[in-house]
């Protein structure tokens, strides 16, 4: 599986867009990009995933570069409740395993 690189921490003002980058320069053609977040002491929460195209759902948007070597998770209007650790995960589902490999993630602090 491709490794990912994320900044250790980021700050964002409440009401502004939070843009969380992720580098996955060794990603291969059949690997998906996933984003999860973990609010303090809770279980991780799925946010969004994509393969090639940009994706949007009620929580966030995922922008994947054309070469697929990096992506950005966008929370359009961050609130204090979005303060959490955000994990970018790249996973190949060509085999039989289904596990997600979590790194250390980015700690996003949304400030009033």
Partner 1 sequence: NAGVTQTPKFQVLKTGQSMTLQCAQDMNHNSMYWYRQDPGMGLRLIYYSASEGTTDKGEVPNGYNVSRLNKREFSLRLESAAPSQTSVYFCASSERLGPNEQFFGPGTRLTVL
Residue ranges binding partner 1 (CB under 8 A): 32, 41-46, 49, 51, 87, 91, 93, 96-105
Are the C-beta atoms of residues 45 and 37 closer than 8 Å to each other? yes
Name the minimum Å distance from CB 83 to partner 1: 17
State the Cα–Cα distance between residues 83 and 42, nearest whole angstrom. Answer: 12
CB closer to partner 1, 14 vs 38: 38
CB closer to partner 1, 74 vs 100: 100
What residues contact 94, with CB distance under 8 A and at least 6 apart? Answer: 30
N- to C-terminal Cα separation, the chain: 38
Name the minimum Å distance from CB 39 to partner 1: 11
Name the minimum Å distance from CB 73 to partner 1: 15
């Amino acid at each position: 599986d491709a490794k990912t690189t994320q900044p250790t921490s980021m700050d964002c003002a409440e009401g502004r867009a939070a843009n969380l980058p992720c580098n996955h320069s060794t990603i291969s053609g059949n690997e998906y990009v996933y984003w999860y977040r973990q609010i303090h002491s809770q279980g991780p929460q799925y946010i969004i995933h994509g393969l090639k195209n940009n994706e949007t759902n009620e929580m966030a948007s995922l922008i994947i570069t054309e070469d697929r070597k990096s992506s950005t998770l966008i929370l359009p209007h961050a609130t204090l409740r979005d303060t959490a650790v955000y994990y970018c995960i790249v996973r190949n589902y060509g085999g039989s395993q289904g596990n997600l490999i979590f790194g250390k993630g980015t700690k996003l602090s949304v400030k009033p």
